[in-house]
Amino acid sequence: MSKLVTIYGGSGFVGRYIARRMAQAGWRVRVAVRRPNEALFVKTYGVVGQVEPILCNIRDEASVQRALQGADAVINCVGTFDARGKNNFDAVQTEGAGRIARLAAAEGVAHLVQISAIGADATSNSQYSRSKAAGEAAVLAAFPQAVILRPSVVFGTEDGFFNRFAAMSRMGPVLPVVGAATRFQPVYVDDVAAAAVLGATGAAAPGVYELGGPEAASFRDLMQKMLLVIQRRRLVLNIPYFAATLMASGFDLLSFVTGGLIENKMLTRDQVKSLRVDNVVADGARTFADLGIAPVTMDAMLPEYLWRYRASGQYAAIKDSAKNLRKP
């Protein structure tokens, strides 16, 4: 019988790419999510019955344990940007990660992969980054042979980074950003998935790997690259940190007084704190090179999915070609 992997959060942006790769490698894949009915699309990644979404909430001990029973490998992709509520940073990224690792060790799972993030730091000013670091510590305490992957900002067809700002660029001549000089090292989602598969199959040595793409660039330069791809001219306007903090405080307050009915998806104070620090691979860290993976460039992938934000969409190339036609 083929081996079984449980992927917590396996229907999310990164998780679905991992699930697809594991299925292609011949593994049975159990996708553990809170809403299995919204994850039925993962079934198409393999033959009938090979990939199955199941109900699981990583805050619940029993459901986590049921999800990993009989698994040969476990991958945790669950993360959140919600600082409040039941599914907050500590509940999901610290306690949830530790719970998965502890129960996986008790079950005798052979390999565990934890998806963390560059910037995970117990001394960070950002609560998000501190919770990621605490989650890593909890995982290693329970499962010392775990593989921990720390990607920079992840891009790909369904990403929430380039897609978000490309959509914003359609609203006016100015594209506002916070931390225009902050540097990122965007990494293609399927490269992160390839690294996770190596960890789950035992092909990667235990430890922490920082995953960044071939190019590190400032936030402003990334927006300029994106604008070039979508063929729009916009002024990339940097919002000073003090102004961004005031704005974020207002958004956070609105979410608080409405009891979370109005969710802050614009900008939080914690995100402003994160944007003060570069998000690039640290010197001396283990990287893609140690995994034998050559990461894909942004130039190779961005045009493949950002074309829909061009003024003429999929017809942009035809329209540009038509300009070269001579008039009769």
Q: Annotate 239-270 with DSSP letters as a single string.
A: EPHHHHHHHHHHHHHHHHHTTTSS---S--HH
Residue 112 lies in a domain: yes
What domain range is 199 assigned to? Answer: 4-160+185-217+279-297
pLDDT for res 168: 97
Residue 152 lies in a domain: yes
Residue 189 lies in a domain: yes
Q: How many domains does the chain have?
A: 1
pLDDT for res 313: 87
DSSP symbol at 328:
-
- Which one, of 71, 75, 95, lies nearest residue 33 by Cα? 75
Residues 6+ apart with CB under 8 A from 19: 7, 10, 11, 29, 31, 42, 45, 51
Residue 305 lies in a domain: no
Residues 212/307, Cβ–Cβ less than 8 Å: no
Residue 64 lies in a domain: yes
- Which CATH number does the domain housing residue 96 bear? 3.40.50.720
pLDDT in single tens digits along all 328 residues of the chain: 789 999 999 999 999 999 999 999 999 999 999 999 999 999 999 999 999 999 999 999 999 999 999 999 999 999 999 888 899 999 999 999 999 999 999 999 999 999 999 999 999 999 999 999 999 999 999 999 999 999 999 999 999 999 999 999 999 999 999 999 999 999 999 999 999 999 999 999 999 999 999 999 999 999 999 999 999 999 999 999 999 999 999 999 998 898 888 888 899 999 999 999 999 999 999 999 999 999 999 999 999 999 999 998 888 878 777 777 765 5
pLDDT for res 324: 74
pLDDT for res 328: 54
Q: Considering the entire predicted model, what is its pTM?
A: 0.95
